[in-house]
Amino acid sequence: MTSIGIYGSQGKMGQAIAGVAPSLGARLAGGADAGDDPAGLARKADVLVDFSTASAIEAHLAAAVAARTPIVIGTTGLTPRHHALIDAAADDIAVLQTGNTSLGVGLLARLVREAAARLGSEWDVEIVEMHHRDKIDAPSGTAILLGEAAAEGMGTTLAEAAVIGREGLTGARATGTIGICSLRGGSVVGDHSVILATAGERIELIHRAQDRAIFARGAVQAALWLAGQEPGRYTMDQVLGV
| Residues annotated catalytic, as ranges | 131, 135
3-state secondary structure of 192: strand
What is the Cα–Cα distance from 185 to 183, expressed in whole angstroms?
7
What is the Cα–Cα distance from 84 to 71, expressed in whole angstroms?
15
Whether 9 contacts 15, CB under 8 Å: yes
User: In sequence order, what are the residues at sequence separation of 6 or more whose Cβ sits closer than 8 angstroms to the Cβ of residue 88?
Assistant: none
Respond yes or no on whether the N-terminal peptide bond of residue 22 is cis (omega within 30° of 0). Answer: no
Closest CA to 209 of 200, 222, 218, 197: 218
Written as one letter, the residue type at 166 is R
Beta pairing class for 178-184 and 94-97: unpaired
DSSP, res 172: S
